[in-house]
Amino acid sequence: MSSGKWQTINGVRFPVEDSNRENPEEGSFTHDGKEWKTVAELTFEEAKAIAGNQKKDWSDATDEELMVHTFGYGASRIKGHHTETIVVKLSEEKTQMPFGFVENAPLLELLWRKTGADCPEEEADLEFPHGTYHILLQE
């Protein structure tokens, strides 16, 4: 860096950048010695959603979206009446079903819409075109 300007922070001297311009371009900033243009400003929530760290609000989803997120696209190929009780732990993120693990959030929303069950120790038969599941909710 050819700048003769220095700044002291906590007793340590750091060079201060000088872009040799009186008025830097509006909407730009300098980081690591390079000038960057601001393309868009995001809120923290928007950034988390883009990064995929935000959980989806399943109450806004359609029944079809819930089916796909719960059972996957192959749900229509799963046939039969399942007589065993499937225990869904409300505090966990996934549940073991006869065909594999499913996400609890869309499953619970679907269960509530179809049966009204949403409290611990409630039981319900969840009927789908591809079969019926007996669900027991636990904490």
Q: Greater confidence, 79 or 27?
A: 27
Report CA-CA distances (Å) from 66 to 16, 31, 96, 104: 54, 44, 17, 11
C-alpha distance from residue 25 to each of 11, 14, 38, 39 (Å): 32, 24, 10, 13
Confidence at 1, pLDDT banded by 50, 70, 90: very low
Question: Where does the pLDDT of residue 102 fall: very low under 50, low under 70, confident under 90, or very high at 90 and above?
Answer: confident
- Parallel/antiparallel/unpaired status of strands 34-37 and 81-89: unpaired
Helix residue spans in the chain (DSSP H) = 44-51, 63-71, 104-115
- Is the pLDDT at 2 greater than 70? The verdict is no
pLDDT digits (tens, 9 = 90+) for 14-63: 777 655 554 555 677 777 788 878 877 888 877 777 776 557 788 888 88
Angstrom distance (rounded) from CA 36 to CA 28: 5
Going from N- to C-terminal start, the domains of the chain cover 58-138
Let me know: does 134 contact 85? Beta carbons within 8 Å.
yes
What mean pLDDT is predicted for residues 106-135?
87
Cβ neighbours of 35 (radius 10 Å):
13
